A and B are shown apart, each in its own frame.
Chain A
Amino acid sequence: MGRIVSSITDGKGFDLLLVGLTMVFLLALAGVPLVYNVVMSFQQVDMFNLSTFSRPFAGFSNYVEVVSQPEFWLIIRNTAIFVFGSIGGQFVFGFALALFFMLKFPFASTIRGLFLVSWVMPGLVVGALWGWILAGDFGVLNAILKGIGLIDNTMFWKSDPSLAIWAVTIANIWLGLAFNMMLLSVGLAGISQDLYEAAELDGANGFQRFSTITLPMMRSTIGAVLALGLIYTLQQFDLFPAITEGGPANSSNVAQYWAWQWSFQLFDFAKGATVSVMMLVFVLFASLVYVWSTRHEVRG
């Protein structure tokens, strides 16, 4: 008896208790909704049977119908542009800013802190702001671009099918920039200055120091930033209703907004679940790649 108690307070039992608690939380708060979502994608769901579990089984018909929608491939393409455009933009600009703020100049850390404002603001507010900036006839961005002579004709960021997805991507890059910069700054701060000094003595130039010290030392940070970026970008929803509503003609529609449209505009909850299950499979695949690519990392 005494041994069991002492094992719970200090020993294997305690470890098991901690792991068990975490698992219960994970199962209840993530596992059940996930499974429920998967189950829903194989059923026929309408508002009548929304609150019950026993619904007619639909097999793969939801999947077949979703894939055979005329806008399906357009939405896949847009999702790819949005995800890779956002992650790429956030990472490149975030890294550049992080490097810039590593230079010691007055108020560097204060100004870096101010950048967090964009990360703190709710997506809908950011969306409304960018909605005004990107407006066609009376938008700020158009006024600036015309003022400095870059364009002559009005750019309809929100209504031109070839621009709309980029409009949302630009807003999302701005939104996620500060988060990327912060994580990368932390990674940069962790690299010992001795390495740079030693490299400098050996005659390495700035580019060589960056590619042979900074990048390899940042590998795990970069992996984490990109993986988190993928998740946050696939979660990004608020900007879409606020800026383009997925339009015109689905030219800026992405999977996450499409799932919402199925469920809450067309009231076909099963198809909404189907789209989100497809996204889930993609994210699982991406996380497998991430885990595999960082398998040599030493973990504390």
Chain B
Amino acid sequence: MKASRLGLMTGVALATVAMAGAAFAQEDVTITVWSIDGANQVGPSDTFSAEFNEMDNGINVEYRILQFDEIVNETLRAYATGNAPDIVSLDNPDFALFSSRGAFLDITEMAENSDVINTEAYFDGPLNSVMWDGKLYGVPKYTDTIGVFYNKDAFAEAGIENPPQTWAEFEEYARMLAEANEGMYGATISARGNEEGTFQFLPVIQMSGGGYENVNTEGAREWLSMVKGMIDDGVMSQDVLSLGQWDSTGTFNSGNAAMAISGPWEIDRMVEDAEFDWGVTLLPVFGEGDERSSALGGFNLGILSTTEHPEEAFEVLEYFVSQDDRLFPEFGYLPTRGDVELPPSGIAEKDAALEVFQEQLQYAQPRGPHPEWQKISKAIYDAEQAALTGQMTPEEALSQAQATIDTIIN
């Protein structure tokens, strides 16, 4: 009895050694990459990971798709328990949560010595979101911003020549375009109770002279009253309070809304789905010639500081960056660098939209960076929702948000 058990244990031990030996002989390093690309549609990180994995260079890439809502959460949990991936791609306002605590690897020096990554080529907004305390903690992956998509056929039918340039025109046109009997709303936005709500509402605060540290502006109050009026009168669906941007713009594509506030990630789907002529215009302003603003979206890539293979992980990162010129033609994403040329796609609507979004990017302002961005953002979208549902007046909602934000910042 005893002898046989001993034999069994020896066998197990030998097998373990043999397996370890096999892994050692192969010498392949595995780099895990987490991103949301591939969750809704094919994206850069999943595509480039698969390509890099195919190469015979001793580095394997294991790619995992996560949902937008859970990626920060999963990464946080994995980091706390010591199972973090090597590379993770995060939405830019979430990046500071990790970089400010040293959870991302400081790659300042590696980038300086790199032939591929040139930090000077990046736009300020995206670059800022990967910096903390003057150090570089990652690279911006792609960027985006928002503008107004409009249904040209519906505009022509209503006798409107140009897309709206001010919020007053936005409201006026939306009211003209809404056809309740035909299931056509005048406009659609996303005022959802999560980051997407803040993403679309913060630019309004910014263009009226505020910022995330100062949200109670006259323009913001005006805008909230305007949108609330449009919801009350059925010019906008009440569902803008619960729809995300992707679903909200879906109603535009199917011809159920004449205008939609959203970003360049919609273009490829719109080219396929929309059975009407459409165009894009810059996010409206309050008065002609006023300061413009828009949201700065997009994801960043960072190497977790817990990685066992920083050099190999950096190589993977370099490969991703070297493919930046494919971002727009293949995936419809805007590169974060000024030195990437965007060739015309040959699809007139897509190229025209790109031009508008590139102009819009000049006005895009980052969210944060702040290590407690999530709480600031919640204060902002909570205020928007409270005002749009009529639970509070815009003044009450925004001053309550301001009080919350003050305690977070100070």
Contacts and interface: CB of A to CB of B under 8 A. Distances in A.
B378 A266 contact: yes
A71 B251 CA distance: 31
A251 interface: yes
Contacts of A51: 80-82
Among B72, B97, B386, the one with the most A-chain Cβ atoms within 10 Å of its Cβ is: B386
B2 interface: no
A135 interface: yes
Contacts of B81: 51
A47 B79 contact: yes
A156 interface: yes
B385 A249 contact: yes
Interface string B232-246: 000001111110000
Contacts of B69: 241
B37 interface: no
B239 A136 contact: yes
A156 B241 CA distance: 10
- The majority secondary structure among interface residues of chain B is helix
A248 B73 contact: no
Among A51, A70, A156, A244, the one with the most B-chain Cβ atoms within 10 Å of its Cβ is: A70
Interface string B208-241: 0000000000000000000000000000011111
Interface stretch (A8-16, A55-63, A157-165, A201-209): A157-165
B386 A48 contact: no
B101 A248 contact: no
Nearest to A71: B382
Contacts of A137: 183, 237, 239, 251, 256
B193 interface: yes
A266 B374 contact: yes
A159 B374 CA distance: 22
Interface string A134-149: 0111000000000000
B136 interface: no
B103 interface: yes
Contacts of B97: 47, 267
B238 A159 contact: yes
B103 A248 contact: no
Nearest to B197: A247
Nearest to B80: A50
Given A266-B374, A266-B378, A267-B76, A247 B183 contact: no
Nearest to B391: A249
B80 A247 contact: no
Interface string B356-391: 000000000000000000110010001001101111
Given A247-B385, A248-B389, A160 B80 contact: no
Nearest to A241: B69
Contacts of A251: 389, 391
A127 interface: no
Nearest to B397: A249
A34 B374 CA distance: 27
B237 A136 contact: yes
A249 B238 contact: no
A248 B80 contact: no
Contacts of A264: 73
A51 B82 CA distance: 9
A268 B76 CA distance: 12
A251 B382 CA distance: 11
A160 B237 CA distance: 11
Nearest to A70: B400
B194 interface: yes
Nearest to A153: B234
B192 interface: yes
A48 B101 contact: yes
A76 to B, nearest CB: 16
Contacts of A70: 400
B239 A135 contact: yes
Nearest to A164: B242
A250 interface: yes
Interface string B161-199: 000000000000000000000010000000011100000
A249 B76 CA distance: 26
Interface in B97-132: 97, 101, 103
A264 B242 CA distance: 20
Contacts of B242: 136, 158-159, 244-245, 247-248
Contacts of A244: 242
A288 to B, nearest CB: 35
A246 interface: yes
Interface string A38-65: 0000000011101100000000000000
Interface string B65-103: 000010011001001111000000000000001000101
20 contacts: A46-B101, A71-B382, A136-B242, A137-B256, A156-B237, A156-B241, A158-B239, A159-B237, A159-B240, A160-B238, A160-B389, A241-B69, A247-B193, A248-B242, A249-B382, A249-B388, A250-B385, A265-B374, A266-B375, A267-B76
Given A50-B80, A156-B238, 12 more contacts: A47-B76, A47-B79, A71-B382, A158-B239, A159-B239, A244-B242, A245-B242, A246-B193, A249-B388, A250-B382, A265-B73, A265-B378
Interface of B: 69, 72-73, 76, 79-82, 97, 101, 103, 183, 192-194, 237-242, 251, 256, 374-375, 378, 382, 385-386, 388-391, 400
- Rank and list the top 10 A-B pairs by shortest CB-CB distance, nearest first: A249-B385, A247-B193, A156-B238, A50-B80, A248-B241, A159-B241, A136-B239, A161-B389, A249-B386, A159-B238
